[in-house]
Structure 1
Amino acid sequence: MTAWAQSLIRISNYEVETLQKRLAEITARRASAEMRIAVLEAEAEIEQERARSDADAAMLLQAYLSGWKMRKGAAEADVVVINAEEEGARDALTGAFEELKKFEHVAETTRLNSIIAAGKRETAAFDELGLRRRAG
């Protein structure tokens, strides 16, 4: 394989690895944001249950739920943004993989063409040698 092909493949591999790390980080952030929503929902259920048995908690429940809705809405908005970011990262990773495969294909084709050309040169040399022996 030629030096330029090795360099292109090495650069492409680095880009793929970088994008894989980025995607893993985004996926972890999405899981964390989804966990935050689940925790908020569990907290709301606990507060609603407490309000059923405690008059003071019942009086404060509406204020709590109002704040809870804002926190949950913010968390859900975070998930939407992270999902879009994740989709973009997946698209970028797919593109990087495609580029890597193209470079690998070109390098392999170049290698095979080199082998074929060497074979043709060898055959031509043997043909010439045979003609000289016949003539001489």
Structure 2
Amino acid sequence: MKSRDTVMRLKRFQVDEKRRRVAQIEMMIADFERMVHELEREIAAEEQKSGISDKAHFAYPTYARAAFTRKENLQRSADELKTQLEDARADLEGAFQELKKFEILDDREQARERAAEAAREQSDLDRIGLAMRAGFARA
């Protein structure tokens, strides 16, 4: 019984850890995407201020050029995180399925134990009933 409880706790912990990992990656992706949108607004504002939107132009704003590079890096990082997110979700699904298997096995084991206990109790009651009947038959 104790080892079964320990295994169940371990499996639940693993599922919780994988859920936290998925949530963490999702938050990082959302942060990166938010930063990308902010940089896009800043780039557009800088281009509008200078009147130059051609990145190849010699007078293209330095800040806009740096912001564009940073935006591209953030997008690449977000794409890499999306790949990690897919892997983390697959790991979570696997851990969840394994937890479910153990829960089903645990439920079956508990049902067997309850059935065995009920059979023992019924047997004890049957013996008591027979003993009482035998006692009444003598009287």
Shorter chain as normaliser: what TM range?
0.7 to 0.9
Match of 2:93 in 1: 94
Identify unmatched segments of 5+ residues in structure 2. none
Question: How many residue pairs were aligned?
Answer: 131
Higher helix fraction (1 or 2): 1
Residues 1:6 and 2:5 aligned together: yes
Match of 1:43 in 2: 42
Query: Does the 8 Å contact 2:46/2:61 carry over to 1?
Result: no
Identify unmatched segments of 5+ residues in structure 1. none
How far does the alpha carbon of each residue in 1:103-133 deviate from its partner, in whole angstroms, 9 at most, with x for none? Answer: 1111111011111122233444555664994
How far does the alpha carbon of each residue in 1:27-63 deviate from its partner, in whole angstroms, 9 at most, with x for none? Answer: 121111111211111111101110239xxxx862276
Query: Relative CO higher for 1 or 2, CA cutoff 8 Å, sep ≥ 6?
Result: 1
Q: TM-score normalised to the size of structure 2?
A: 0.76
Identical counterparts, % of pairs = 25
1:1-136 pair list within 5 angstroms: 2-52=1-51, 60-61=59-60, 66-125=65-124, 130=130, 133=134
1:72 shift after superposition: 2.5
Q: How big is the alpha-carbon RMSD for the aligned residues of Structure 1 and Structure 2?
A: 2.9
Q: TM-score normalised to the size of structure 1?
A: 0.77
Distance 2:66 2:72 in 1: 10
Aligned-partner residue type, residue 49 of structure 2: R
